[in-house]
Amino acid sequence: MFGSILEHIKEYIDLTDLEIEQFTSVLIVKKLRKRQFLIEEGDRVNYQYFVVSGCLKAYEVDGNGEEHIIQFARENWWISDFKAFFDQVQSRLNIDAIEESTVIGIEKNDLEELYLKVPKFERFFRIKLTRAYVALQNRILSSLEKTNEEQYLEFQQAYPNIEQRIPNYMIANYLGIKPESLSRIRKRLVSR
């Protein structure tokens, strides 16, 4: 059950058997049916999650009741409302399963203890967060300098094969455009 998360972590830090034991002993496994919530707006967020299988989305609902997707998370991605988790404030995001999914959760206090017992995990998350930060910078730069069509093509590169798993209207939403516009972009692309 913990194979994939251990493989994932070993890409960044080496762990002894004891450290693996200290880590896995605090993990919990959660299975979600399609459309089931992992986190709802307003929740206290005591876990951050690693996706073992399936696919989830994190989104905010604005004042007009419109959803805005900030992240898709599939196999080997981390997801949570990190602001709410970190600062122990109410969640601003909703996170739910697009497909039936399995996630591994680690509780905030357990993680804090783990940091003290095995400081390498600080390193692990520092590295992951550096990469996540750079990825978001890239996404902002793309939105500043690329056409919607180019951003859609980049999305396909960044999330290969995900279009079979996610409806177009969610992709449009993630890209910040209307489903009608994405449909027109797709039409233009096939006719070339």
Partner DNA sequence: AAAAAAAATTGACTTAAGTCAATTTTCAAA
Partner DNA sequence: TTTGAAAATTGACTTAAGTCAATTTTTTTT
Q: Which is nearer to DNA, 187 or 192 (CB)?
A: 187
Matching residue, tokens 């992992």: 38
Which of DNA, its own copies, none interacts with 70 (beta carbon under 5 to 8 A by kind)?
A: its own copies
The reply on whether position 50 binds its own copies by CB under 8 A is no
Q: Which is nearer to its own copies, 65 or 160 (CB)?
A: 65
The reply on whether position 147 binds DNA by CB under 7 A is yes
Give me the numbers of helices (H) and strands (E) for the chain, helices first please.
8, 8
Question: Within positions 62 to 91, which residues make up the interface with its own copies, using CB under 8 A?
Answer: 62, 66, 68, 70-71, 82-83, 86
Instruction: Count the neighbouring beta carbons within 10 Å of the beta carbon of residue 166.
Output: 18
| 3-state SS, one letter per residue, for 25-57 | CCEEEEEECCCCEEECCCCECCEEEEEEECEEE
CB of 119 to its own copies, least distance (A): 4
Determine the Cα–Cα distance for residues 105 and 66; give it in Å rounded to an integer. 28
Q: State which of residues 134, 147, 169, 188 lies at the interface with its own copies (CB under 8 A).
A: 134
Give residue 151's region: left, alpha or beta (phi > 0; psi -120 to 50). alpha
Which of DNA, its own copies, none interacts with 42 (beta carbon under 5 to 8 A by kind)?
A: none
Determine the Cα–Cα distance for residues 108 and 46; give it in Å rounded to an integer. 5
The reply on whether position 119 binds its own copies by CB under 8 A is yes
Size of the site for DNA (CB under 7 A): 17
CB of 63 to its own copies, least distance (A): 8
Determine the Cα–Cα distance for residues 153 and 151; give it in Å rounded to an integer. 5
Q: Kindly list the residues in this chain that would bind its own copies in the complex (CB under 8 A).
A: 60, 62, 66, 68, 70-71, 82-83, 86, 115, 119, 122-123, 125-126, 129-134, 136-137, 139-141, 143-145, 176
